[in-house]
Amino acid sequence: MNLTAKDIRVRAGGKEIVRGASFALTDGDWLMIVGPNGAGKTTLVRALCGGVPCEGEATIDGEALSAMRPALRARRVGLLDQQTGVTYAFSVEEVVRLGRYAYRGGAFGRGDADGERLVEEALHATGLYDKRRQSMLTLSGGERQRAFLAQALCQDPSVLILDEPGNHLDLAYQRQLYALLDDWRRRPGKAVISVMHDLALARRYGTRVLLMERGAGSFGTPREVLTREALSRAFGMDVCAWMRDVYGAWEA
């Protein structure tokens, strides 16, 4: 699997929100998209999945993502966004099972041989199997986030894109989540992209980093991109000194 994004640009309301982001991923990569608020991180991942119109070219194995039918695109890229709101009392397993939509289509769609197994696996992996019959309206924010993660996992895309996946999760679940994603990206033909605020986690798990700054991105390995100078310029503060100050207290 090869995902390439070349000079992605997104305009909205007369403003250029993403100003030329480029990167390339292959099997086993985990791309961390980092940067300050308003840098265009979320807009970039939405644009990759067709959620907002964009210029530039994003291809997966040579095929343009924008030209793909929605169901085909959903099999190649899946997005877990930050929305966890639910209006109706769907059960957890109903929400998770919707992750298989692209494989079985409408009400009269053909069967999905792997579907139920993947739904069950995703429910177990996110610790929601025992709550699968429960209404989504009765779950906490973190549990809803896990239900939508399970939905994205059973969608089984080549590239799993997550927008701040640790939101709403306590530390134990965050550790479980990052371990799960780390295992997942090592499967053949898989890669992960996540928008992250926690630079320590980005450095720990990322194989590639895209540092976004006012809509523009610099891409490379964590060691190449997350330098003291680049982070200071992007965030307008000495990030490394602050990280040492915060995390240094835990060393003892």
Please select the residue that binds other proteins; options are 75, 168, 197, 214, rule is CB under 8 A: 75
Does residue number 105 form part of the binding site for other proteins (CB under 8 A)? yes
- From 63-71, 190-198, 199-207, 241-249, give the range in contact with other proteins by CB under 8 A: 63-71
Q: Reduce the DSSP state of residue 13 to 3 states and report it.
A: coil
| # binding residues, other proteins (CB under 8 A) | 43
- From 24-32, 103-111, 196-204, 222-230, give the range in contact with other proteins by CB under 8 A: 103-111
* Residue 231: both structure tokens together: 């982070």
Whole-angstrom distance, CA of residue 108 vs CA of residue 86:
25
Does residue number 46 form part of the binding site for other proteins (CB under 8 A)? yes
Please select the residue that binds other proteins; options are 106, 111, 188, 248, rule is CB under 8 A: 106
Beta pairing, strands 55-60 & 77-80: unpaired
Does residue number 104 form part of the binding site for other proteins (CB under 8 A)? yes
Nearer to other proteins, 162 or 209 (CB): 162
Please select the residue that binds other proteins; options are 4, 82, 90, 203, rule is CB under 8 A: 90
Nearest to 31 by CA among 66, 52, 49, 4: 4
Please select the residue that binds other proteins; options are 16, 112, 120, 121, rule is CB under 8 A: 120
Please select the residue that binds other proteins; options are 155, 158, 194, 218, rule is CB under 8 A: 155
Tell me which H or E stretch contains 9.
strand 2-12
Please select the residue that binds other proteins; options are 35, 40, 99, 166, rule is CB under 8 A: 99
Does residue number 133 form part of the binding site for other proteins (CB under 8 A)? yes
Nearest to 149 by CA among 138, 160, 158: 160
Does residue number 51 form part of the binding site for other proteins (CB under 8 A)? yes
Please select the residue that binds other proteins; options are 74, 169, 195, 216, rule is CB under 8 A: 74
Residue 12 neighbours by CB distance under 10 Å:
11
Whole-angstrom distance, CA of residue 65 vs CA of residue 246:
41
Cα 31 to Cα 25, 104, 105, 238, 240, distances in angstroms: 8, 30, 30, 23, 21
Query: Tokens 């993660």 belong to which residue?
Result: 149
Does residue number 86 form part of the binding site for other proteins (CB under 8 A)? yes
- From 28-36, 95-103, 183-191, 223-231, give the range in contact with other proteins by CB under 8 A: 95-103
Report the DSSP beta bridge partners of residue 23.
5
Cα 63 to Cα 1, 8, 21, 163, distances in angstroms: 11, 16, 18, 24
Residue 44: CB minimum distance to other proteins, A: 15
Q: Is the dihedral of CA 99, 105, 107, 112 positive or negative?
A: negative
Does residue number 11 form part of the binding site for other proteins (CB under 8 A)? no
Contact 94, 78 (CB under 8 A): no
Interface positions with other proteins (CB under 8 A)? 46, 49-51, 69-75, 78-79, 81, 83, 85-91, 93-95, 97-99, 101-102, 104-109, 116, 119-120, 133, 137, 151, 155
